[in-house]
Chains A and B, each alone.
Chain A
């Protein structure tokens, strides 16, 4: 019998449910049965309720089994695992699993297909096509392609990425930088982590293209310290890319240099704010800077700097490979392209869902997510991380589009979607939003530093029924001050979960139910 190729993911979410033990058991069992196997540690397909998801390569394509426990392995072999045999844990061809089949994976097209540390795998699935095209283009044409693609910053602010690049390209300086914001601190998000752990060359390629476009020679990826596996994989991938000539003094023979380094954060949420991140990279406390000057003109070490989120930069290779129009044709309105949504929290089928903008939250929650994990009714959904609004069911049919969400006082942010069932107490979650802000505020501006602590106290009084009506008025006042008086999104957006909880779930604060207008 020839060698059988099996896949067991190395993504943190697979490791956290025992993927290493499963891989080990498969190797032992195969050896005991005299079957020659090659186990590839691939990225995750993003179907996390099925992790550890074991796949086997068959002549008809890959077949999926999951969730596999080490104790399942002997029975899987008995059932003919190595030929894709039937078993209760078998889901058939991986690509035909409905959750995956109905997605529009552009950025995540390779995710789970490849060994993240294999340059050969990466190139077998179109890797570096974008960089090769970019090298043949004048820098202005690269920038124009990005502008034409309609790509907007995926970190949360949704600023047009090409405009940012154009500003940096037009700045005159001896040294420019590309900085990747990989400080993915929002609860409910993991697309950056998956990218770094599962397809790191895509991020490296995107950063190299950015460097060619704006004339930068040095790049940094600032990764949060909570992501040790991402840091290890990225460091390994950078070393391989250097050895392969994709980074270094002469990127693919272009005569242009681009050096890349990983820098590790240190557990500060506000360092996900771009100016605080730059301070941290410079070796300082992560204190937010006032803007202007924009980082594009005076960023890292005072030099012109492109600072983009992981997914923004990871979206660049396919745009340069397939063209601006290809990418732009996905989506609705001014929200072009796709977004890797992350279905998280109390959801039956949690995972990564990349689709074009324009689908609704209800489709995500039920058609993909299958309802809550507990089987209870879904009560509230927080979209866009800890600074995002809590949405009641009446808002689940609005298309996921930057402008439509902004119009109802919400945001899509980094695409994290956290589901809560009917046992959630929204007054408790509102209190938590203020508590988290108090814990993580950099302290530079008063509304955020003091307002968050006062916010916890006021919500405690409301919950304790202590002068409730006055305290509610005070909470609205306080939120108004934070929104309008804070320097960055931490202080100015913490009120969003608080006021949305208060507006849509007043009964949780012991107040009268909302008018059904």
Chain B
């Protein structure tokens, strides 16, 4: 996942700042607290805002470089807000044996996305995943964290249409 450079000039945003302070108050005392803090922030905000790095570093007595290094090391953490919907297509060996590469190409083409990039309308992101643990029901995908197995291009199109429709209806 791409990460932006560290910014610490952004104007304070009350929602983000209170989320960061709340998470730090709850978790900073845990042994090995950094990953739990980053997960809690991403769960609350959808991403780990780069301007939260100084506060996290301060609370854990780490350098900003160390915190940034951890955020950028792990594929899971995002440094920018996600699109409303994320499609993960597993491309590990078991899914490859059942046509995952063709499914991934279909997903990108259908949604008009580059890999790990947004669709033109900014609604979907297509990501590669490396094993969702559904290897006996390949190929597998996850849409917004919900898993779907024995996927075909036809089922994929129907699923995406349902997701897009539920968004328009909301």
Name A residues whose Cβ lies closer than 8 Å to a Cβ of B: 12-13, 15-17, 48-49, 51, 184-190, 193, 225-228, 263-269, 280-286, 301, 342-347, 350-352, 373, 382, 386, 416, 418-421, 424, 429, 432, 436, 439-440
Contacts and interface: CB of A to CB of B under 8 A. Distances in A.
B93 A432 contact: yes
Interface in B74-108: 74-77, 92-98
A267 B147 CA distance: 16
Given A283-B60, A286-B74, A345 B38 contact: no
A226 B133 contact: yes
Contacts of B96: 429, 432
Nearest to A343: B136
B32 A283 contact: yes
Nearest to B31: A301
A267 B76 contact: yes
Which residue among B74, B133, B138 has the maximum number of chain A CB atoms within 10 Å of its CB? B133
Contact of B131 (A186, A264, A283, A421): A186
B135 A350 contact: yes
A265 B75 CA distance: 10
Contacts of A301: 31-32
A281 to B, nearest CB: 5
A263 B150 contact: no
Contacts of A424: 97
Nearest to B142: A226
A187 B60 contact: no
Contact of B97 (A17, A345, A352): A345
A266 B39 contact: yes
Contacts of B39: 225, 264, 266
Given A264-B39, A267-B75, 15 more contacts: A16-B148, A188-B135, A263-B36, A264-B36, A268-B76, A281-B35, A283-B35, A284-B34, A286-B73, A301-B31, A345-B94, A418-B94, A418-B97, A421-B97, A429-B93
Contacts of A12: 132-134, 147
B14 interface: no
A373 B98 contact: yes
A16 B140 contact: yes
Interface residues of B, number: 40
27 contacts: A13-B134, A17-B149, A17-B150, A184-B133, A187-B135, A188-B93, A189-B135, A225-B76, A227-B133, A263-B32, A263-B36, A265-B76, A266-B74, A283-B33, A285-B74, A342-B136, A343-B136, A344-B135, A345-B98, A346-B98, A350-B135, A351-B136, A386-B93, A418-B94, A418-B97, A429-B93, A429-B96
Given A267-B76, A268-B74, A193 B133 contact: yes
B5 interface: no
Contacts of B94: 187-188, 344-345, 416, 418
A193 B147 CA distance: 14
Nearest to B138: A345
B129 interface: yes
B2 interface: no
Interface in B8-41: 31-36, 38-39
A187 B98 contact: no
A347 B149 CA distance: 14
A7 B76 CA distance: 34
A254 to B, nearest CB: 24
Contacts of A281: 32, 35
B147 A187 contact: no
